[in-house]
Structures are given as structure tokens and as C-alpha cells.
Amino acid sequence: MINWRDNHKISFKKYRRLIYLNMYYYRHLASSSKDGDVRIWDTVLCSTQTVLSGHTKSVTAVKWGGTGLIYTASQDRTVKVWRASDGVLCRTLEGHAHWVNTLALSTDYILRIGAFDPVKDSHKDTAILDKKKSQEFALERYNKITESHGERLVSGSDDFTLFLWDPEKGKKPLARLTGHQQLVNDVKFSPDCRIIASASFDKSIKLWEANTGKFITTLRGHVQAVYVVAFSADSRLMVSGSADSTLKLWNLRTKKLEIDLPGHADEVYAVDWSTDGLKVASGGKDKVLRLWQN
């Protein structure tokens, strides 16, 4: 647990507070807290710039989108959309019957890598040292992802469901994704924005069509709760971490288990791919960070 002044806390356990840097306003950082507030920090001045108040219970997740909006999820069963520039609340997304645990944006991958393209290796054709050209290239890739459907948001909840939202246009969900038998721990869009994957305490991972929310299939193999999932850069593979102390690598073309990755001595809480798609990093309750070669 990291303690901030005035009891602003960030936890990395089950209800860990997520922090994301905005790709354009990189000197600013958003944090969410058990105190119900979201704070925007100036990382140069090391001070709070704006406090977003409106949630009535613990804020479980925060996402900073590519259009200047911040999305927050809370145990008050709502998702809120804020304007990052001045902290104005734009709208409240309601529908979940219990805590909202996790959020994912269709643009997460693009915002994360910016002008670097590990799949096509196009960073070699881009003047990375030229800030203006790099920003233009990153914006072009962002626009390509969002030109048909905009920036989509998906939320996962303790009510066993997920909601697919178009948060810039309205308060009503585009789809309600049902099928999990226990609470949803994690949700991710694939980098190509075609698939949504959700991980649950029901020991399964479910795949959904990103545009419509239509159910695709269920991936089974873990014998305890699945905590986290992560896609490879080319969207062909996915890795999952579980309370059963294992990671599993899934082939998304065949929708089958590719390989089992034992090694951790306890529950696996976090997993992610390197941007070049060659390595996977995982960490868990055994206090060990493991690197896996693809």
C-alpha cells in the first residue's frame, strides 16, 4: 500500500488503483482512490492539479482516453466520464447492479505505444526523434482505429456482467454481455480492436465481438479464478494469469490452449506482453517477477 497525503491511497491488490499516463499530456497523471476521489497530478510540479469528486464509494479503475476524457469506475456501481482539461463531469453511465471492477478502452493499445508499431516495425520509417512527425504518426494511427466506431469502453462488474459503451455519445450501453457465473476481474480489447476478453472468478475467460458485444466462445483450463489477461501485439495470442499459480497461453485463431506456463508458487496477479511481442512478464503473491520468452 502506498500512502499519499490526506489518505489518498493506491493499492495493488484485488482492488488495486490503476494509474495511466495520457499520451498527449504526458506531464499529467490520473489516480483513483478509496476515498472516492480522482486526482489529476502535475508530475513536474509534484502537486494536485484537479480533484474529480462525484463518486460516492471507492474508485476502482481510471482510464485516460485519447480525446481528452477520463473514465472512472466505482463501487457505487457507476462509470463516470470527465473532461480532463477542467474536471467537468460529462455524464454518468449506469446499469451495473454491483461494484464496477475494471475498465478497458478500444484505444488502450494505441495510446500505450504511441508512434511505435511493433507489428509492422513502422517506427523505422518514422522520425522518432522528430517530435512533430511522431505525434502526427501516432494521431494518424489513433484516427484509423476510431474512424468507424469512435473510442469504445467496456466495463466489468461484480454483478457477473460487462457493458459495452460509446461513452462520447450517450448514457445507454450498446450491449450487455452476460454469461459469466461469478464476478468479472479483468477485461481487455485486442490491439486490432476485434475481440474483447474477460476474466472471471468462475475460472473461465470469455471472448466477445468488440463491435457488437456478441459472445464468441469460452476458454477453459484454469482450475481457480482468472485474475488477468493480456493480448500479444499482433492479436494472435493471449496470456492469462490465475489464482491456480499458472499462466496459460491461448491461440486466438484456434480458440484453444497453446501452452501451460507453470512456475509461480502462488496466485498470479499481473501479466503483460512486451511491445515487441517477444516476452511476457508476470508477477504474483509469491513476490517473484518472471519473464517468459515467446
Dihedral angle of Cα 14, 15, 21, 25, to the nearest 10 degrees: 170
Sequence-separated (6 or more) residues with CB below 8 Å from residue 22: 28, 30, 64, 84, 111
Residues above pLDDT 90, as percent of the chain: 68
How many domains, the chain? 1
Output phi, psi for 276, to 5 deg: -85, -5
User: Is the model's pLDDT at 286 over the cut of 70?
Assistant: yes
Q: How far is CA 184 from CA 96, 108, 210, 222, 272, in A?
A: 12, 19, 17, 15, 18
Helix (H) / strand (E) element for 139: namely helix 131-146
Q: What is the mean pLDDT of the chain?
A: 86
**Residue 107 clears pLDDT 50, i.e. is over it:** yes
Q: Is 83 exposed, middle or buried, given 0-12, 13-18 or 19+ CB atoms closer than 10 A? A: middle
- 21-35, 47-61, 244-258 — which is least confidently predicted? 21-35
Pair 204, 216: CB distance under 8 Å: no
Q: What is the pLDDT of residue 38?
A: 95
What pLDDT is recorded for position 267?
97
What's the rounded Cα separation, in Å, for the pair 272 and 76? 29
Query: Got the DSSP string for 17-77?
Result: PP-EE-SSSTTEEEEE-TTSEEEEEETTTTEEEEEEE--SS-EEEEEE-TTSEEEEEETTS
74 found inside a domain:
yes
Mean pLDDT of 233-241: 95
pLDDT value at 138 more than 80: no
Strongest mean pLDDT among 17-31, 144-158, 191-205: 191-205
- 3 domain-assigned: no
In this predicted structure, the answer to whether residue 10 has a pLDDT above a threshold of 60 is: no
What's the whole-number mean pLDDT along residues 22-40? 80
**Could you tell me which of 198, 207, 189 has the C-alpha nearest to residue 226?**
198
8 A C-beta contact, residue 267 and residue 245 = yes
Which residues are paired to 242 by β-bridges?
226
Q: Is residue 164 in some structural domain? A: yes
CA–CA dist 212, 147 (Å, integer): 16
Of residues 132 and 92, more confidently modeled: 92
Q: Is residue 184 part of a domain?
A: yes
- Banded pLDDT at 113 (limits 50, 70, 90): confident
Residue 120: the pLDDT is 57
What's the domain range around 80? 59-293
246 within 8 A of 261, measured Cβ to Cβ:
yes
Decide if pLDDT at 117 tops 70. no
pLDDT of residue 22: 42
Mean per-residue pLDDT for 200-215? 97
In this model, does residue 241 exceed pLDDT 70? yes
Res. 74: pLDDT tops 50: yes
Give CA–CA dist 189/106, Å, rounded.
6
d(CA 230, CA 270): 9
Confidence check: pLDDT of 98 > 80: yes
Q: Residue 190: which CATH number? A: 2.130.10.10
Residue 201: which H helix or E strand, with range? none
Is 276 within a domain?
yes
Give the pLDDT confidence score for residue 202 in this predicted structure.
Answer: 97
Q: Is residue 226 part of a domain?
A: yes
Instruction: For residue 47, tell me if it sits in a domain.
Output: no
Which of the four pLDDT bands, split at 50, 70 and 90, describes residue 3?
A: very low
Give residue 7's pLDDT.
36
pLDDT in the model for residue 110: 86
- pLDDT beyond 90 at 114: no
Residue 23 lies in a domain: no
The residue ranges of DSSP E strands in 123-255, in sequence order, are 153-157, 162-165, 175-177, 184-189, 195-200, 204-209, 215-220, 226-231, 237-242, 247-251
Long-range contacts of 6-12 (CB under 8 A, 24+ apart): 6/35, 7/35, 8/33, 8/35, 8/37, 8/39, 9/33, 9/34, 9/35, 12/269
The residue count for the chain? 294
